[in-house]
Amino acid sequence: MAGKDTAAPGPSSPSTSAITKYEVFLSFRGKGVGNHFASHLYEALYRQGIHTFKDNEDLGRGQLIPDKVRQAIVQSQIAIVLLSKSYFSSWRCLEELVTIINSSRSNQGQIIVVPVFYGIDPSHIRRQRGSLAAAFEEHEARCSVDTVRRWREASAKIAD
């Protein structure tokens, strides 16, 4: 499975809009969660016939999120976001999170967002304390104020 995106086949539904391609989009940071919990969750969804997008490509630092990932988010019914301590240190995960939150708010997307708190307290995300505070401080040193503001807002929103 490594090195390419994977999507579990799922039943097609006549009630699904034409823009819906996946039933679930799985957002996670590969370190720790990706090789364990995310893989088990993906396999469980696959066994149930739930069409799931799980991106396995390893992008280098500074590379943009592929359009196929952004499209998969917009074309999904549900986004399961596996929030871990390492999730917030990844600018890519934070960009996915912003896209997920924006899609859930827009008229074009009917995406349901399901946060899963994996070894992290939701109040730390909401208040951006602990390891989250350190991650955002590092981002502030490297990224624009506007970018970090969007990431902070999306992070607080998902914890609510």
CA distance 7 to 30: 17
96 is catalytic: yes
Q: Where are the beta strands (DSSP E) in 50-153?
A: 52-54, 76-83, 112-117
Question: What b/e sequence results for 63-79 when a residue is b if at least 16 CB atoms lie within 10 Å of its CB, and e otherwise?
Answer: eebeeebeebbbbbbbb
Catalytic residue selected from 43, 96, 138, 153: 96
**Cβ neighbourhood burial of 88 (10 Å; 0-12, 13-18, 19+):** buried
CB of 85 closer than 8 Å to CB of 121: no
Which amino acids are annotated catalytic? 96
